[in-house]
Amino acid sequence: MADFPEPTMIKSNGIDMAIYEAGPKDGLPVVLCHGFPELAYSWRHQLPVLAGAGYRVIAPGQRGYGGTNRAEKIEDYDIPHLTGDLAGMLDALGLGKAVFVGRDWGGIVVWSMPLLHPDRVLGVIGVNTPFFARPAIDPIAGMRAMRGENNYVVFFQKPGEADEILARDVGKSFRFFMRRNMATAKEFASAPQEAKNFELVRAVQEDESNWRGSPLLTDDEMKYFVDTYKRTGFTGGINWYRNLTRNWELSKNIEQKVKVPSLMIMAENDVVLPPSLTEGMERYVPDLEKVLIEDSGHWTQQEKPAETSRAMIDWLERRFG
């Protein structure tokens, strides 16, 4: 906790944004973008290490999260808004370009940056989240057909419902989400189909004794997340999911090509975003390196912080000096 800085408030893209910075102001800017249900605090292990290696590290609390504004309209959380927030953040800080790092939903945003704001991007690091080329059909329709109505992404499309369920007992919700050793990739592969539908909103309401794995966070870390979400609720982050169809429609005429140096950090036992999803990425991301972090589940930068930081710094030093 001691190494995590206090936020600075900036104006970006029409919102007030909380950012957390470390490292020399003249260092290469590296922007760390969190996923759901995370916070900029999810990068607490990486900030001091990257700063110590000479990088100017910036972890934004993204739209709808933490101390950053929570817009009212669902469509205010689409990809043009989310990438526009990052470009506006660079403007506010007087920076031209940065390397963008993203995990989970943050990964979707940072892979979109070179498509929508190519002049602001030096490179991209995806953590767990690969580059997803535009699918042939609406992604929600595809998810519904494949995994059913109770898949969490499909369930999230109903305004207000999941938000209310997760906020009923924020502590329980975070004890459910932030777990390690849930299943190995091998165990998951042999599980019955219903176990692969990710019916997380149903599972979070079950008795905790039914949950697999073990707690990931210390008591202090858990308190940071829980206190924040008790104040903000979950709607901001869930609204990102409610734009998946809109994002798909908006991307119709955008070339699916990432033309900057890129690194893909994969987690061996992430069953939500498995390494197999990165197969064929080179077609869309020609200048790509891949690193596998063994024995890590979904929360890679928090589960395997040293390995994640090492992979990032090794690539940054080789590609940007």
DSSP structure string for 155-219: HTTSTTHHHHHHHHTHHHHHHHHSEE-S--HHHHHTS-GGGGS--HHHHTTS-GGG--SEE-S-H
Question: pLDDT at position 101, please?
Answer: 98
The fraction of the chain above a pLDDT of 90, given in percent, is 93
Which one has a higher pLDDT value, 197 or 111?
111
Q: Give the pLDDT confidence of 218-229 residue by residue, as tens digits.
A: 999 999 999 999
**Side by side, which strands form the sheet with 56-60?**
8-12, 15-22, 56-60, 29-33, 98-103, 121-127, 262-267, 288-293
Question: pLDDT at position 194, please?
Answer: 82
Q: Does pLDDT of 2 surpass 60?
A: no
Q: Give the pLDDT confidence of 259-272 residue by residue, as tens digits.
A: 999 999 999 999 99
Comparing 6-15, 50-59, 188-197, 235-244, the range with the smallest average pLDDT is 188-197
CA-to-CA dists, residue 301 to 13, 43, 118, 187, 205, angstroms: 28, 7, 26, 22, 27
pLDDT band at 309 (very low <50, low <70, confident <90, very high): very high
CA-to-CA dists, residue 13 to 10, 212, 224, 234, 289, angstroms: 10, 41, 27, 22, 32
Q: Does pLDDT of 254 surpass 90?
A: yes
Residue 298 annotated to the active site: yes
Q: Which residues of 76-85 are buried (b: 16+ CB within 10 A; e: fewer)?
A: bbbbbbbbbb
Q: Does pLDDT of 175 surpass 50?
A: yes
Which residue's structure tokens are 């991301």? 285
DSSP for 121-156? EEEEEEES----PPPSS-HHHHHHHHH-TTSHHHHT
Q: What is the pTM of this model?
A: 0.97
State how far the Cα of 1 lies from the Cα of 162, in Å rounded to an integer: 30
Interior CA angle at 253 toward 247 and 257, to 5°?
Answer: 90
Q: Does pLDDT of 5 surpass 90?
A: yes
Q: Give the pLDDT confidence of 115-172 residue by residue, as tens digits.
A: 999 999 999 999 999 999 999 999 999 999 999 999 999 999 999 999 999 999 999 9
Q: Which of 104, 119, 227, 287 is catalytic?
A: 104
pLDDT band at 195 (very low <50, low <70, confident <90, very high): confident
Q: Does pLDDT of 41 surpass 60?
A: yes
State how far the Cα of 21 lies from the Cα of 131, in Å rounded to an integer: 26
CA-to-CA dists, residue 86 to 19, 240, 286, angstroms: 11, 15, 24
State how far the Cα of 291 lies from the Cα of 279, in Å rounded to an integer: 13
Q: Does pLDDT of 1 surpass 50?
A: no
Q: Give the pLDDT confidence of 66-87 residue by residue, as tens digits.
A: 999 999 999 999 999 999 999 9
pLDDT band at 196 (very low <50, low <70, confident <90, very high): confident
Which residue's structure tokens are 């709808």? 64
Question: pLDDT at position 193, please?
Answer: 85
Mean pLDDT of the chain: 96
Could you tell me if 82 and 241 are in contact, meaning their C-beta atoms sit under 8 angstroms apart? Answer: no
State how far the Cα of 14 lies from the Cα of 2, in Å rounded to an integer: 31
Q: Give the pLDDT confidence of 92-101 residue by residue, as tens digits.
A: 999 999 999 9
Residue 219 annotated to the active site: no
Mean pLDDT value across residues 231-243: 98
